[in-house]
């Protein structure tokens, strides 16, 4: 077999593997039980909770991640390398370990102080946002840094020489030029937050109607052999995922300047 | 008046010490140096993108070395131009006006005049991606000039262009400068470009200023062998002053026994007998005398008999390698095509070569 066909064959195998997996879900789709699973208040709650928590976690990740990404992309400062390496912590640490670390932290004097004087995280909705934030902040920063790295600092230099302050140069030049990459980073981070399970279940638990996000609900549905509910939630997660990927492709075409 | 005094830069492997440049208002000054000599670092430091170790930068008596780039009133055209790809040509041009919150009405006529000189009126609604290399250069220059900067910095403005476009942009730059007189500092490694456009030139090699002066002075009278070599000098010889003739105010130099008569009036340095010096003869200043043609008096002293060793056709001119019989000194001679045809030269032919005394330049 030729080189070309071997490579395409490998790509086709992956495609068939995932497509087969998705199609197999439809074997159980249909009937009254399926519809009941969709309109079940707990299912609707978990969808709503997932959307809100993922959006909040993404908002906070971008709020801190964008300036961090800019700093790591543009400036040299002591400790830059180690900071850069720490962005990979959520990748090298399993989500469960990340969640367990939070539980340990909230049992330290500082953690207890935060919980008693500020916001309660453990087994509460803020805990979900925190767990998702911890999982995606490093990734969001890494992706945004990659987008900013692609934009030559020369543009900002010229903008500065033409009278722009550093802030003006950032929002008039760097931000629009890197918009495509930044938006893709936001969407991918949001999608990752939507699908987050390990850290969320460890910090916030799996209480239906209180802290049960979609992935947690899938886990509990499978555990209790509620296949219809599990499939509904899986298909919805896949739909959200495909929608975000389509959005990335669309924005990619919209913001091309070359 | 722009004054750069004692500028010292230390960046990684680069060390630039005590750089001094002075540019008159409306002047076109060139910082000329080989690639990798740190010229761009100098520009970036003047602009405020890099912090120099020490030094003073004054623009119209205002010290700017501690100001951020946006408050220096210096425009910068980098080598890659950095036109903002998300903005149309018109928006690129007006970027500096809007960034500084300037009243557009006060600049309208001036910008219209710039657009006319640069001939880009038909490009205003385009995005940079839809411009040719030459058009991009014109837009970048215009964008830099639009807010009327006190100093314009150009980094290799003619690099990466086809020869025909390069000539066009070179002429446009000349017209632009003579029409609007922006005080300009340009860095380049191309001495033809510097000679065509510049008023004054600073030769900058290995992080040091080797020579500063008006362009003719620098090109015709390099201060050192290093400068002469950088300027592409071919005929460089180590010579010894053997005699002085007070009556004719000349010194006689010898290279391998071949004598050159040089007037002392050109030199401030002492031309002591016995001293060793570098002798520089520009390849286009050596003349081959046509057979049977009488020799002018001004050429009679520096005339040599010799043989043609090689001839290279370089398209617009020919390079002739001529070896003097006495001393076996090799001269590289550039001859324009029209003159070459009249001379009827061939390899192995014996001819005479002559030099005007002002074509000889001695560096001690």
pLDDT tens, residue by residue, B159-191: 888 888 888 889 999 999 998 999 999 999 988
Same domain, A184 and A217: yes
Same domain, A233 and A199: yes
* A165, A173, A177 member nearest B70 (Cβ): A165
ipTM score assigned to the predicted complex: 0.80
Same domain, A46 and A105: yes
Same domain, A122 and A242: yes
* A158, A160, A258 member nearest B85 (Cβ): A258
pLDDT value of position B11? 80
Domain with A216 in it: 31-254
Same domain, A179 and A63: yes
pLDDT value of position A31? 67
Same domain, A81 and A25: no
Q: How many whole angstroms separate alpha carbon A189 and alpha carbon A133? A: 9
pLDDT value of position A26? 84
Q: Is residue B87 classed exposed, middle or buried when 0-12, 13-18 and 19+ CB atoms within 10 A define those classes?
A: buried
Q: How many whole angstroms separate alpha carbon B331 and alpha carbon A39? A: 97
DSSP chain A: --HHHHHHHHHHHHHHHHHHHHHHHGGG--SHHHHHHHH-HHHHHHHHHHHHHHHHHHHHHHHHHHHHHHHHHH---TTHHHHHHHTTHHHHS-HHHHHHHHHHHTTSHHHHHHHHHS---TTSHHHHHHHHHHHHHHHHHHHHHHHHHTS-HHHHHHHHHTT--HHHHIIIIIHHHHHHHHHHHHHHHHHHHHT--HHHHHHH---TTTT--HHHHHHHHHHTT-HHHHHHHHHHHHHHHHHHHHHHHHHHHHT---
Q: Which residue in B339, B219, B331, B217 sits closest to B283, CA to CA? A: B331
Q: Which residue in A41, A88, A65 sits closest to A141, CA to CA? A: A65
Residues of A with CB under 8 A from a CB of B: 152, 154-155, 157-166, 168, 172-173, 176-177, 257-258
Same domain, A86 and A196: yes
* A158, A166, A258 member nearest B78 (Cβ): A158
Helix (H, G, I), strand (E, B) or coil at B93: helix
Same domain, A147 and A185: yes
Average pLDDT of the segment spanning B32-43? 87
Residue A258 scores a pLDDT above 60: no
| pLDDT tens digit sequence for A42-58 | 889 999 999 999 999 99
User: B68 and A160: CB-CB below 8 Å?
Assistant: yes
Same domain, A233 and A196: yes
Q: Tell me which H or E stretch contains B9.
A: strand B2-11
For chain B, domains (ranges, CATH) are 2-221 (3.40.50.300), 233-363 (2.40.50.100)
| pLDDT tens digit sequence for B260-284 | 988 887 776 677 888 888 998 888 8
Residue A103 scores a pLDDT above 60: yes
Does B293 contact A at CB distance below 8 Å? Answer: no
Same domain, A179 and A231: yes
CATH code for the domain in which residue A135 is found = 1.10.3720.10
Distances (CA, A) of B162 to B60, B119, B144, B199, B300: 37, 19, 23, 25, 44
Same domain, A26 and A83: no
Same domain, A18 and A72: no
Q: How many domains does chain A have?
A: 2
pLDDT value of position B268? 65
Phi-psi region of A209 (alpha: psi -120 to 50; beta: other; left: phi over 0): left
């Amino acid at each position: 077999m030729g080189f070309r066909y071997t490579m395409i064959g490998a790509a086709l195998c992956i495609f068939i593997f995932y497509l087969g997996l998705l199609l197999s879900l439809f074997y159980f789709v249909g009937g009254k039980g399926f519809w009941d699973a969709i309109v079940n208040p707990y299912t609707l709650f978990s969808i709503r909770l997932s959307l809100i928590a993922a959006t909040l976690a993404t908002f906070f990740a971008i709020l801190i991640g964008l300036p961090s990404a800019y700093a790591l992309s543009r400036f040299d400062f002591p400790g830059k390398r180690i900071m850069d390496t720490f962005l990979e912590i959520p990748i090298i640490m399993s989500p469960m370990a990340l969640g367990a670390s939070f539980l340990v932290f909230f049992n330290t004097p500082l953690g207890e102080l935060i919980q008693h004087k500020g916001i309660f995280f453990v087994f509460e909705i803020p805990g979900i946002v925190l767990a998702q934030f911890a999982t995606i902040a490093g990734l969001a920063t890494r992706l945004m840094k990659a987008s900013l790295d692609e934009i030559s600092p020369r543009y900002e230099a010229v903008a500065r020489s033409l009278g722009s302050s550093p802030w003006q140069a950032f929002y008039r030049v760097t931000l629009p030029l890197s918009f495509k990459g930044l938006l893709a980073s936001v969407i991918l981070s949001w999608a990752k937050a939507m699908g987050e399970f390990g850290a969320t279940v460890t910090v916030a638990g799996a209480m239906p109607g209180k802290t049960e996000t979609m992935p947690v609900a899938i886990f509990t549905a499978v555990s209790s052999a509620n296949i219809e509910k599990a499939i509904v939630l899986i298909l919805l997660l896949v739909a959200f995922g495909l929608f975000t990927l389509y959005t990335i492709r669309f924005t990619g075409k919209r913001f091309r300047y070359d | 008046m722009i004054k750069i005094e004692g500028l010292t830069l230390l960046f990684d492997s680069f060390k630039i010490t005590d750089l001094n440049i002075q540019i008159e208002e409306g002047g076109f000054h060139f910082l000329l140096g080989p690639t990798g000599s740190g010229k761009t670092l100098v520009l970036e430091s003047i602009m405020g993108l890099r912090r120099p170790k020490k030094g003073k930068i004054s623009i119209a008596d205002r010290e700017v070395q501690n100001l951020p780039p946006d408050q220096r009133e210096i425009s910068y055209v980098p080598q890659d131009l950095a036109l903002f790809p998300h903005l149309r040509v018109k928006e690129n041009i007006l970027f500096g006006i809007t960034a500084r919150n300037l009243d557009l009405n006060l600049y309208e006529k001036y910008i219209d005049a710039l657009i006319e000189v640069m001939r880009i009126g038909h490009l205003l609604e385009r995005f940079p991606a839809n411009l040719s290399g030459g058009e991009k250069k014109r837009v970048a220059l215009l964008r830099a000039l639009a807010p009327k900067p006190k100093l314009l910095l150009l980094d290799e403005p003619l690099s990466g262009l086809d020869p025909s476009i390069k000539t066009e942009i070179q002429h446009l730059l000349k017209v632009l400068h003579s029409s609007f007189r922006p005080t300009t500092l340009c860095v380049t490694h191309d001495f033809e470009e510097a000679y065509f456009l510049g008023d004054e030139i600073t030769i900058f090699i290995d992080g040091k200023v080797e020579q500063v002066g008006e362009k003719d002075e620098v090109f015709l009278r390099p201060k050192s062998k290093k400068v002469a070599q950088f300027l592409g000098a071919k005929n460089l010889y180590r010579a010894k002053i053997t005699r002085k003739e007070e009556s004719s105010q000349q010194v006689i130099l010898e290279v391998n026994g071949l004598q050159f008569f040089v007037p002392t009036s050109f030199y401030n340095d002492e031309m002591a007998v016995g001293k060793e010096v570098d002798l520089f003869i520009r390849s286009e200043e050596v003349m081959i005398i046509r057979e049977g043609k009488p020799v002018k008096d001004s050429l009679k002293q520096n005339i040599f008999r010799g043989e043609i060793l090689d001839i290279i056709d370089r398209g617009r001119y020919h390079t002739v390698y001529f070896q003097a019989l006495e001393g076996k000194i090799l001269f590289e001679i550039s001859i324009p095509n029209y003159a070459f045809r009249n001379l009827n030269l061939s390899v192995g032919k014996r001819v005479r070569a002559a030099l005007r005394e002002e074509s000889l330049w001695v560096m001690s």
